[in-house]
Amino acid sequence: MQNPLSFSARNRATDIANLQTGAADLIVIGGGITGAGIALDAASRGLKVVLLEKGDFASGTSSKSTKLIHGGLRYLKQFDFWLVKEVGSERAIVHKLAPHLVLPEKMLLPLIEGGSYGKWLTSIGLKVYDILAQVGGDDKRRMLEKKEALKLEPLLPKKGLKGAGYYAEYRTDDSRLTIENIKTALQYGARALNYAEVTEFIYTPEGRVCGVAVRDGIGGETFEVHSGHVISAAGPWVDELRSLNRSKKGKQLHLTKGVHLVFPHEKLPVKQSVYFDVPDGRMIFAIPRGKITYVGTTDTNYNSDKNEVHTDFADAIYLISAVNNMFPDIELEMSDIISSWAGLRPLIHEEGKSASELSRKDEIFTSDSGLISIAGGKLTGYRKMAERAVDRIVSGIEEEDENRELSDCRTEETPLCGSDFKKFKQVQKYMTRVLSKMEKDGFEAYDAWYLVTNYGKQTDLILENFRELTDADPYWRMMKAELLFALEHEMIHNPMDFLIRRTGRLYFDIESVRKNLKQVAEECALQLKADDRTQKGWVSEMEQILKQHSSFTL
């Protein structure tokens, strides 16, 4: 395994100084999955790349998705065949690049009497889906009779169930996918900085964008970074940057909010992932993941503060009602919610269309000053979005300098950091070896699964940290080993970066957050040389986040 490069907040002052030395070829604004994909694509073609993110990496939309690399079956109903074909094909590619992180996930689509999907149309639709996405082998869709469907998922309603469609998707952790793309870009010479907000654009005398002014969100100072080209992949904030560039005209963003709720698995003990329709015609996922099951998503217009997106009572009631309606033996209540997340989709506005009718296609805008902006799209299609954007940038660079030749896109064959697996079976074998090393300290299969599906072969480095530590509680010692890895290789600045985006513990293992929060804050303060006031502030902020994500008392 090629070890990840050092990527630590301890080096921030040096990193900022280096960003101001010489001009880059490309500045990427936005450290979500789109910006991360662009940085990797551009750097792997030989460009000098700087990635800037105003918050933490993946802190916006890219940590708030349904966490599926899926083909968008529902877009067949909108006759959006191009989108289904592209993202359907991309599923297999992204799985190949990181089979530990993008996991095969069979999906059950129950056919209910009076529901949105009839048996014949579903069969044809899934067949078209397989053809467009080039699905083969055991992953091809199957149509199940009622008895077969109930065997796979006994919680489905016996009354009114006519059968089910059974097809292949992939599950991921969107935050981990983002950070591994960034770390892979670093291996090609890219530089990346979080908590670095672009506040102004810098222009040549001819009015071309040639850099940005950046406010350091940690130290507070402002500095400049220069480059030949600038691309904004800032998600919901794309239009703000277009306004700053005085180029917000024509098509604009239409933000919609998507909410997910998390329940203990014993409260919603589905045996496998289910994609079901609700009375208003929308589709909802129920996805088991380790200790929990999560459900989502909603799709409603959003016009409030983009920096403060929360799950509200209406969202929670809607999703709980949908689950209770589909699974008659389940009676979820508000008090059963243990966590939640809410995020924004930066879609392209189309007059007269509702939130759920808007296209998920991406679009690229170029201003008169040369600022390129990209918006729309889906998590699944991030690599192709990046390829299209970088193609445009490379074309411009080669026009400016006829002697400069840059390579074509290479990301289809570029494994992500943490993966030298060729097939998912190798991931499973590695997981078994990891478990054999952990069992003597009292760990179980879930613990090995958690580490490997988050970090891949980088798990070896975490286990090395674990063996060198002397803390009495093995579970805290393992979490501390994971924290030390994140401090050294994943640019965390505080407990929130670690507990929410690098590990997903806030969503998938919230009790471990409550139990270890103060110890995590203490270790972060020690390693980052933070004072007591800062440490207490971290704890207070995380406690407030815990309350927001799990408290829905009427």
Residues 438 and 542 in one domain: yes
Handedness of CA 43, 46, 47, 49 (dihedral sign): positive
Residues 163 and 180 in one domain: no
- Number of domains, the chain: 3
Distance between CA atoms of 358 and 71, rounded to whole angstroms?
A: 16
Q: Assess if residue 31 is contained within a domain.
A: yes
Last residue of a domain, one of 413, 448, 483: 413
What are the structure tokens assigned to 315, written together?
A: 């969202």
Q: Could you give the 3-state DSSP secondary structure of residue 346?
A: strand
Q: Assess if residue 204 is contained within a domain.
A: yes
Residues 279 and 241 in one domain: no
- Cα–Cα–Cα angle for 91, 282, 122, nearest 5°? 60
Last residue of a domain, one of 314, 342, 357: 357
In this structure, the strands spanning 49-52 and 191-193 are: parallel
Residues 240 and 154 in one domain: no
CATH number at residue 328: 3.30.9.10
The confidence score (pLDDT) of residue 528 equals 97
The confidence score (pLDDT) of residue 276 equals 92
Q: Before 297, cis peptide (omega within 30)?
A: yes
DSSP per-residue string spanning 164-197:
EEEEEEEE--HHHHHHHHHHHHHHTT-EEESSEE
Q: Assess if residue 363 is contained within a domain.
A: yes
Residues 235 and 352 in one domain: no
Residues 228 and 313 in one domain: no
When computed from its CA atoms, the radius of gyration of the chain, rounded to whole angstroms, is 23
Residues 274 and 196 in one domain: no
The DSSP 8-state label assigned to residue 422 in this structure reads S
The confidence score (pLDDT) of residue 518 equals 97
Q: Assess if residue 269 is contained within a domain.
A: yes
Single out the residue of 274, 281, 291 nearest to residue 327, CA to CA.
274
Residues 322 and 268 in one domain: yes
Read off the pLDDT of residues 173-222 as tens digits, 9 standing for 90 and up: 999 999 999 999 999 999 999 999 999 999 999 999 999 999 999 999 99
The confidence score (pLDDT) of residue 554 equals 39
Residues 366 and 444 in one domain: no
| Residue 156 CB-half CA count within 13 A | 29
Bridge partners of residue 229, in order along the sequence: 26
Residues 229 and 269 in one domain: no
| Residue 37 CB-half CA count within 13 A | 30
The confidence score (pLDDT) of residue 401 equals 82
CATH number at residue 214: 3.50.50.60
Residues 294 and 203 in one domain: no
Q: Left (φ > 0), alpha (ψ -120 to 50) or beta: where does 248 sit?
A: beta
Residues 456 and 467 in one domain: yes
pTM exceeding the 0.85 threshold for the entire prediction? yes
Single out the residue of 253, 235, 233, 256 nearest to residue 342, CA to CA.
256
Question: Which domain does 505 fall in, by range?
Answer: 424-550
- Residue ranges in the chain modelled with pLDDT below 50: 553-554
Q: Are 37 and 181 a contacting pair, CB within 8 Å?
A: yes
